[in-house]
Amino acid sequence: MRHRWPEANLLEQIDATASNRTADLARAIRTDLARFNPAYIPHFDNMARAQIFYGGSGSGKSVFLAQRVVLDLLAGGRNYLVCRAEGKYNRASTYAEIKKVIANWELGDRFNVTVSTMTITCENGYQAIFVGLDDPQKLKSIIPQKGVITDIWIEEATQTNPDVVKELVKRQRGGDEEVPKRLTLSFNPIIRTHWIYQEYFAPLGWQDNQTKHQGEGLTILKTWYIHNRFLTAADVADLEAETDEYYYNVYTLGNWGVLGDVIFKNWRVEDLSDIRATFDNHRYGLDFGFSSDPAALVCAHYDATRKRVYIFDELYEWELTNDVLAERIRPKVGAALVTCDSSEPKSIAELGQHGIAAGGAKKGKDSVVYGVQWLQQQEIIIDQRCTNTQNEFGLYQWRKDRSGQSMRQPQDRNNHIIDALRYALEGEMGGGFKVW
């Protein structure tokens, strides 16, 4: 007997029943205020076009946004694209956080969690799809099974570049005009030179004592650990014990950083896409890393006549074995020499086995300081897409002695790209200069 599909109106009734059931459940969960941090409750219904949730570590902002995703999927009408600069980090952060909310609220029977495609689908058909902004081709092909992408949530948004974010927003087209589209950025602040600060905060004349802004098309909410009532006493004590002034202000209090004693002040950010093809003095440097530190590749062009360094590409990733690292850097460097940290001869040899022309940097006494001093004498221009490079140049500081006075020795942090740049330009430094 031939199978007969239900009439279209019957399918609609079935769909409506599921939608009504999950929407009722969302409303019931919302009434249980003990589940939520009070500072975020008004923002479950926030429909501003652009929304920024930023502040200190442990403020609960990511948990709130995960809760909002789950409630919006249950309520129906909204699909989420949940992004990070690199997609592989979604699995242990946003994806895990949303799954945790579903488990804690005992909603496992309402959602289908597909690990292979990193998709979470509510029984009413609405979805959260997890992607990395490092795969633009994949972004172009994403279509939810029902409706359109209404919400884009970018976690750790300071790791992204403005062009990618603008391109994402352009893709939020179509659908029901009565369902507002939203772009949500969440992050710990870094420095005031960052593009997010310049685009969203600087025009407002933002001050550290401000905690919120509600304007036409833009919401900003700043929170820090005091806004998270679920932190343990040990968590609070750890945050309050931070002794580094910059890190205390940024990661404990959630303020945008101001570094008065940064090493490099001779750099700026530009869009180099129009002149990149003219670069003919390419230099490539690589600083090895794995779990605690990233592998950092820098791609630069040096204009010796003008004493100008152009940084036009980067790689900044954790947990790459050397075979994978070779695959990741090959499209950027081709057959050119990559000057690497010579303290890892085994890694250099393995890159060579995988077709990368890798060589070790020279070493010499005080070469870190000499290299830094040489770079300080150059004009450094960083492509706007190289956000990790920008972050390091904005954060790299001198060490301080016990009295708080700066020493002529750089701190050994926020320097992976900068170390790679010293390796890359060792042949340009001349004068018997020795590179670490």
pLDDT per residue as tens digits for the range 222-272: 999 999 999 999 999 999 999 877 788 889 999 997 665 788 989 999 999
Instruction: Tell me, yes or no, whether 178 and 309 share the same domain.
Output: no
Residue 43 located in a structural domain? yes
205/281 same-domain check: no
Query: Bigger pLDDT: 353 or 18?
Result: 353
Two tokens, residue 323: 């075979």
Query: CA–CA separation, 81 vs 77, rounded Å?
Result: 14
Mean pLDDT of 346-363: 94
Tally of domains in the chain:
2
Based on the domain organization, do 334 and 186 belong to the same domain? no
Tokens of 211: 């905690």
Contact indicator for 210, 42 with CB cutoff of 8 Å = no
pLDDT at 259: 60
Edge-to-edge strand order for the sheet containing 151-155? 111-114, 119-122, 127-132, 80-84, 151-155, 182-187, 50-55, 218-223, 212-215
Residue 168: pLDDT over 90: no
Residue 6 lies in a domain: no
Per-residue pLDDT at 412 = 85
- Residue 333: the pLDDT is 97
CA dihedral 140, 141, 143, 145 (to 10 degrees): -170
- What is the DSSP secondary structure assignment for residue 35, as one 8-state letter? G
Average pLDDT over residues 88-109: 93
Average pLDDT over residues 2-8: 43
Name the phi and psi angles at 222, rounded to 5.
-105, 130
| Torsion on CA atoms 41, 42, 45, 49, rounded to nearest 10 | -120
Same domain for 234 and 275, yes or no, is no
**How far is 321 from 327, CA to CA, in rounded Å?**
10
Greater pLDDT, 166 or 349: 349
Position 177 scores a pLDDT of 73
On the question of pLDDT at 44 being above 90, the answer is yes
Which has the minimum average pLDDT: 93-97, 317-321, 361-365, 379-383?
361-365
> Alpha-carbon distance 59 to 234, whole Å?
14
Q: Residue 44 carries which DSSP code?
A: G
**In this predicted model, which residue has the larger pLDDT, 183 or 175?**
183
Q: Average pLDDT, stretch 379-406? A: 83
| Residue pLDDT, tens place only, 278-302 | 999 999 999 999 988 999 999 999 9
- Tokens of residue 291, six digits: 């779990």
Q: How much is the average pLDDT of 101-105?
A: 96
The answer to whether residues 332 and 377 belong to one domain is yes
Tokens of 394: 């904005």
Query: Which of 217, 252, 287 represents a domain boundary (last residue)?
Result: 252
pLDDT of 301-338, one tens digit each?
Answer: 999 999 999 999 999 999 999 999 999 999 999 999 99
Q: Cα separation of 271 and 278, whole Å?
A: 14
Asked if the model's pLDDT at residue 10 lies above 60, the reply is: no
Asked, for residue 1, whether it belongs to a domain, the answer is: no
pLDDT given at position 244: 78
Cβ(87)–Cβ(130) below 8 Å: yes
For residue 227, is it within any domain?
Answer: yes
The token pair at 181 is 């589209």
Residue type for position 133 = L
In this prediction, what percent of the chain has a pLDDT beyond 90?
65
pLDDT of residue 257: 76
- Mean pLDDT, range 372-379, rounded to an integer: 94
pLDDT value at 33 more than 50? yes
Q: 247 with 386, same domain?
A: no
One-letter amino acid identity for 240? E
403: pLDDT confidence band, cut at 50, 70 and 90?
low
Between 204 and 170, name the one with better pLDDT. Answer: 204
Task: Give 259 or 433, the one with higher predicted confidence.
Answer: 259
My answer on whether 388 and 272 are in the same domain is yes
User: What is the pLDDT averaged over residues 69-96?
Assistant: 92
User: Tokens 């140049």 map to which residue?
Assistant: 393
Smallest CA-to-CA distance from 386 within 394, 396, 377 is with: 394
Q: Which of 310, 313, 287, 288 is nearest to 299 (CA)?
A: 313
- Tell me, yes or no, whether 9 lies in a domain: no
Task: Place 273 in a pLDDT band, splitting at 50, 70 and 90.
Answer: very high
Report DSSP letters for 335-372, one per residue: TS-EEE-TT-HHHHHHHHHTT--EEEPP--TTHHHHHH
Question: Higher model confidence: residue 380 or residue 436?
Answer: 380
| Residue 370 backbone phi and psi in degrees, to 5 | -60, -40
Q: Is residue 164 part of a domain?
A: yes
**Domain for residue 177, yes or no?**
yes
3 state SS of 221: strand
| 332: CATH | 3.30.420.280
Tokens representing 306 are: 């003008």
For 276, the token pair is 């990149």
pLDDT of residue 62: 97
Q: Are residues 201 and 341 in the same domain?
A: no
pLDDT at 136: 62
Asked if the structure places residue 257 within a domain, the reply is no
Q: Spell out where 89-227 has E strands.
A: 111-114, 119-122, 127-132, 151-155, 182-187, 212-215, 218-223
Claim to verify: residue 404 and residue 347 sit in the same structural domain: yes
Query: Is pLDDT at 103 greater than 60 in this prediction?
Result: yes
Do 122 and 235 share a domain, yes or no? yes
Average confidence (pLDDT) over 46-51: 95
Give the DSSP H or E segment for 34: none
162 band by pLDDT with thresholds 50, 70 and 90: confident
For the chain, give the mean pLDDT: 88
CA distance 105 to 353: 51
Q: Cα(432)–Cα(128) distance, rounded to whole angstroms?
A: 57
Judge if 243 and 303 occupy the same domain. Answer: no
In the chain, the percentage of residues whose pLDDT exceeds 70 is 89
Strands 338-340 and 358-360 turn out to be parallel
- The verdict on 46 and 147 lying in the same domain is yes
Strands 308-317 and 295-303: antiparallel
The continuous run of DSSP H or E covering 312 comes out as: strand 308-317
Last residue of a domain, one of 204, 227, 252: 252
pLDDT bin (cut points 50, 70, 90) of residue 4 is very low
The residue segments making up the domain with residue 185 are: 19-252
